[in-house]
């Protein structure tokens, strides 16, 4: 998926999704686009660089994903205990959508 496809998908996972660029005052993070549910981030990525999409994930699932998927990496600036990075160019579209929807569900329930 390209940057615009992921952006569009994030906006459709729920009716209460809010899109923001919350880090414009931080050098190097001006182009980070974040998606929120209930005031909390569930997905974000740098729309200029667009290499890693960061999403929340169940801790029990993270180890399995890291072992079985070479496109799973460290999250950008979040705890690797609760968040994963997804190499956007390498991840199959269906998996990317599932991981984003999963993150939305986790954050939306909290």
pLDDT value of position 110: 65
How far apart CA 65 and CA 46 sit, in angstroms, is 22
Helix residue ranges per DSSP H, the chain: 3-12, 59-68, 93-109
Range of the domain at 26: 3-109
Nearest to 78 by CA among 106, 38, 48: 106
Domain count, the chain: 1
Tens digit of pLDDT at every position of the chain (110 positions): 999 999 999 999 999 999 999 988 888 888 999 999 999 999 999 999 999 999 999 999 999 999 999 999 999 889 999 999 999 999 999 999 999 999 999 999 86
CATH number at residue 52: 3.90.1150.30
Q: Both tokens of residue 44?
A: 């974000």
């Amino acid at each position: 998926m390209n940057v615009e496809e992921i952006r569009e998908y994030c906006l459709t996972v729920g009716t209460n999704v809010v899109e923001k660029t919350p880090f414009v005052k931080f050098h190097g993070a001006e182009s980070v686009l974040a998606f929120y549910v209930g005031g909390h981030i569930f997905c974000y990525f740098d729309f200029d660089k667009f290499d890693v999409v960061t999403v929340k994930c169940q801790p029990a699932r993270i180890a399995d994903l890291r072992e079985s998927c070479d496109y799973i990496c460290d999250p950008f600036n979040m705890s690797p205990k609760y968040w994963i990075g997804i190499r956007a160019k390498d991840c199959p579209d269906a998996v990317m959508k599932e991981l984003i929807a999963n993150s939305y569900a986790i954050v939306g329930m909290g």
